[in-house]
Structure 1
């Protein structure tokens, strides 16, 4: 017979309450990160793996990498607090900052991101300067990419070239490695991309530099950073910042993570670093 005595019922209710509380507490102990999809999904997952494991140890909670389909999704997931931290380019940080009404905070950037650059590459012998791109098919990366579109476009405009008017065709590959592939395959005569991805492809011999070469490198600008939502508890934000800033190539773990992130080290970042990116975006009509 079913025991419906007050004591048994109370015990059952308490058990359910404790289980529910435990489930909620467990759910709250998952720290989620994402990154703009500026490279292939497999490469992004490979880069995230060791960092996820490191952060789990430093934060004392489970950490999950959540891939997104495009740059806009990376912005929305952080703004809507579906993830706790996002790896943004300078332009996506500006977009998130505007979209959230200033409710996002950049906490760390690579030392390299203080003076980041883009490169223009080509497979044609007759292209040796930006002016030579007139009448050519040219590829950018994602439309929301800082180093694969916004800043290359900004420097083209400064050089007196309007892509939509001066190029025969403008295309968007979606990612830096895809831009290299498009140029190498002859789908376009030239492309613009992140210098660190280009250097990595060259170092790993993933591109034939006898056929594809860089012919123009842009002036430096601020780029990528790790960004969190301003509503994150201060104690957690400080713990997270310290974890990133303390990564060192002097340890095996730190060396692996920093090499995958193509970083010498992480340094503090701030929103003011990206005022130039915001100005360039507004000037180009992209914001």
Structure 2
């Protein structure tokens, strides 16, 4: 009887172990390179950029490229982490989150600044309000974070660097000086109270901006580069507090119904540029080297389907104002973003 019981328990344990093991995707290099895109880059407006990048990667590696579009940051991250995607373009916070869960995730290239180097490889995290309501957010004529308490606030996603991590860090640092908010956390900001009356998530930078411009939110966080194809500077200097932006006539979705709407910046914070990343278990070193050489080449930097010249009406993944290009970057470059989570 004892032997039979032990055999039964061993059988049950074996079945459970097999079931658990069967739930994990086995990572291995194959003849297909799967690219997953954030919601920000999944729109029809930059389809030509996605297809061109896919074409070039396929041509360089001799492998088929498949694109996966998403409507949520978490889906893109999960797809990469769970070995269902080889290649992605992520925000720096999302990259760090993904790497913490799968150490095969690695940077392959990042967009430089206008100088063509890492020295100015940055974009901006904005806090914006509607132009006709801007005085509500000023104290003695200057914008003040104190005024965003009890407002309806829109973030992008809690996995977004410029649409959540950077602004939430600034907001917490500011309000933690007040006894009422001394214990304020990121989780508080995601859920609303005690600081905000309501919190929305746009699920993309474009979505967060639209939340503001349609009146669903009073204040919104989003970044400059993700909305630059839809808006134009109307007053002031780009990426400075008080600058006014207007939605362009003929702007593509989701801005097509709000042309002419204006917002102003109450805060603009520089952020390290987003990396292209790969899953090394799926890509392998040979394809990593091949793709990195492609991405950092002059041919790639001068491809107008990917780097649209400033002033061009052709939407693309990036805008080229001067010497912008992709350059190789090491993991350590993103340590300042890691520090925000400590």
User: 1:219-238 counterparts in 2 under 5 A?
Assistant: 220-231=270-281, 232-238=283-289
In 2, Cα distance between the equivalents of 1:249 and 1:152? Answer: 32
Give the alignment of 1:89-128 within 5 angstroms: 89-100=91-102, 102-112=103-113, 114-123=121-130, 124-126=133-135, 127=137, 128=143
Unpaired segments of 5 or more residues in structure 2?
A: 1-28, 138-142, 177-183, 233-246, 252-257, 309-315
* Preserved CA contact (<8 Å) 2:294 2:300: no
Q: 1:66 aligns with which of 65, 68, 78?
A: 68
Q: Which moved more, 1:39-48 or 1:113-122?
A: 39-48
Determine helix, strand or coil for the equivalent of 2:277. Answer: strand
Over aligned residues, Cα RMSD in angstroms?
A: 2.4
Are residues 77 and 140 of structure 1, via their aligned partners in 2, closer, same or farther at CA, if it must alter by over 3 Å?
Answer: same
Q: Secondary structure at the match of 1:221?
A: strand
Q: 1:261 aligns with which of 303, 317, 322?
A: 317
Moved more, 182-191 or 72-81: 72-81
Contact 1:247 1:258 in 2 (8 A): no
Secondary structure at 2:83's aligned position in 1?
coil
Mark the CA change 1:222 to 1:168 in structure 2 (over 3 Å): closer, same or farther: same
Once the two structures are TM-superposed, the CA of residue 149 in structure 1 deviates from its matched residue by: 0.9
Deviation digits for residues 13-57 of structure 1 (CA, Å, limit 9, x no counterpart): xxxxxxxxxxxxxx9322211122235543464431221122222
1:208 deviates by: 5.3
**CA-to-aligned-CA distance 1:132-178 (integer Å, 9 cap, x gap):** 21221110011211111111111212222654432222221211111
Question: TM-score when scaled to structure 1?
Answer: 0.79
Alpha carbons 1:143, 1:174 under 8 Å: kept: no
Q: Which residue of 2 aligns with 1:186?
A: 215
**Number of residues of Structure 1 aligned to a counterpart in Structure 2:** 252
In structure 2, the residue matched to 1:35 is 37
1:70-94 deviations in Å (ceiling 9; x for gaps):
2222222222322211111111111
Counterpart pick for 2:290 among 239, 244, 252: 239
Q: Output the TM-score relative to the length of structure 2.
A: 0.67
Alignment match, 2:195: 166
- Residues 38 and 142 of structure 1 are in contact (CA less than 8 Å); yes or no, is this contact kept in structure 2? no
For residues 133 and 243 of structure 1, the distance between their equivalents in structure 2, rounded to whole angstroms, comes to 45
- Distance between the aligned counterparts of 2:79 and 2:214, measured in 1? 34
Q: CA deviation at 1:227?
A: 0.8
- CA–CA separation in structure 1 for the residues paired with 2:96 and 2:70: 18
Unmatched tracts of structure 1, length 5 or more:
1-26
- Of 125, 129, 150, which aligns to 2:144? 129
For each residue in 1:106-156, what CA deviation from the matched residue of structure 2 results, as whole angstroms up to 9, or x when unmatched?
010111483222111111222233222122111001121111111111121
Moved more, 230-239 or 156-165: 156-165
1:173-193, CA deviations, whole angstroms, 9 ceiling, x for partnerless residues? 211111111111111111000
CA distance in 1, matches of 2:104, 2:30: 21
Cα distance, 1:198 vs structure 2:
3.2
Query: SS of the residue aligned with 2:70?
Result: coil
What's the secondary structure of 1:166's corresponding residue? Answer: coil
